[in-house]
Amino acid sequence: QVQFVESGGGLVQPGGSLRLSCAASGSIDHIYDISWYRQAPEKGREWVARAIRGNITLYADSVKGRFTISRINAENTVYLQMNSLKPDDAAVYYCNSRPTVVRWGPGTQVIVSS
């Protein structure tokens, strides 16, 4: 089954931008839904955005208008462009598929601080 590895995190200042990558180990053409999640310290996992077959995208209210998810099937990769970052966006970001959830990858940490 397909597994995912996240990358692209780092330290950014409030208001800055960052682009995360979710690289799949195989083809993602057949996967209905690939979603980004995040988990801040002492908080549960929060759904952030999803990319569904047919160029359908959905976002959590907390990131709507600031984040953009893009699914490039030819690259077996899903990206998350994050703009206007806020301290509340700081978290470890993960990606996974739906409805079949596979083993969670290592995640990539986003730190928003001046």
Please give the pLDDT value at position 50.
Answer: 97
pLDDT along the chain (114 residues), means of 10: 96 98 96 97 95 94 98 96 98 96 97 94
Q: Which H or E element spans position 85? A: none
Residues facing residue 7 across a β-bridge: 21
Predicted confidence at residue 23, as pLDDT, reads 98
CB 80 within 8 A of CB 22: yes
